[in-house]
Amino acid sequence: MIESVCVFCGSRPGRSVAYAQLARDTGRSIARRGWRLVYGGGDIGLMGILATAVLEAGGEVIGILPRRLLDREVAKGGISELVVTATMFERKERMISGADAFLVLPGGFGTLDELLEVVTLRQLGYHDKPIVLVDVDGFWQPCLALFDRLIGEGFADPSTRRLWSVADGAEKAFALLDAAHARGRGGDWRAREDSNL
């Protein structure tokens, strides 16, 4: 079952207003389900919009921010818990271990790094939590095309396609998470006991 959702998304708002709308819808949908948001802890870009939406809808927010980025990413006030880490690596590990599922919204290199981290860790069996790419306006299509290329060229197994799901918006993304939540009753998709995470 899902209690916490980790959302990776841009520290900038992006050009299209569709991205901000997606961040707001995502935040509201998390809060409405009584799930906890785990995210990077900043108050900038889509990250800030997302956390504000969860808080305004009465939800719980855990922000995880490295000490060095407290000013740069503007540590968000008023959240339920702000975890300050020593390093970026520790931040990522705590975001990953503290959530039951991952949503990946549009973003920049940091978001891409986080996406690849959870995909590769799942590929290696360190966790078995759902990963949903939220593909508004086809944002993730070039990345998915590259994934196809890796597989087509023999650098990854075709079965790796099962490591992630793609949703064309918040509604579909939460339908996928609701299904995972239902399957999780008695299921074994949570972090495996023998994993490092």
CA dihedral 171, 11, 92, 89 (to 10 degrees): 160
Instruction: Estimate the crossing angle of helix 45-56 against helix 17-32, to 10 degrees.
Output: 40
| Element housing 63 (H / E) | strand 60-66
Region of 9-17, 27-35, 54-62, 162-170 interacting with ligand AMP (CB under 6 A): 9-17
Residue 94, classed as helix, strand or coil, is helix
Per CB under 6 A, the list member of 108, 160, 163, 165 interacting with ligand AMP is: 108
Per CB under 6 A, the list member of 13, 14, 42, 59 interacting with ligand AMP is: 42
Considering the rule CB under 6 A, would residue 26 count as an interface residue with ligand AMP? no
Shortest approach of ligand AMP to residue 32 CB, angstroms?
24
Per CB under 6 A, the list member of 73, 76, 102, 118 interacting with ligand AMP is: 73
Considering the rule CB under 6 A, would residue 63 count as an interface residue with ligand AMP? no
Between 73 and 100, name the residue whose CB sits nearer to ligand AMP.
73
Region of 19-27, 101-109, 149-157, 175-183 interacting with ligand AMP (CB under 6 A): 101-109
Between 24 and 92, name the residue whose CB sits nearer to ligand AMP.
92
Q: How far apart are CA 43 and CA 168, in angstroms?
A: 25
Give which of 124, 186, 126, 130 is closest to 157, Cα–Cα.
124
Give which of 98, 106, 117 is closest to 38, Cα–Cα.
98
> Count of residues for the chain?
197
Which residues contact ligand AMP (rule: CB under 6 A)? 10-12, 40, 42, 69, 73, 88, 92, 107-111, 113-114
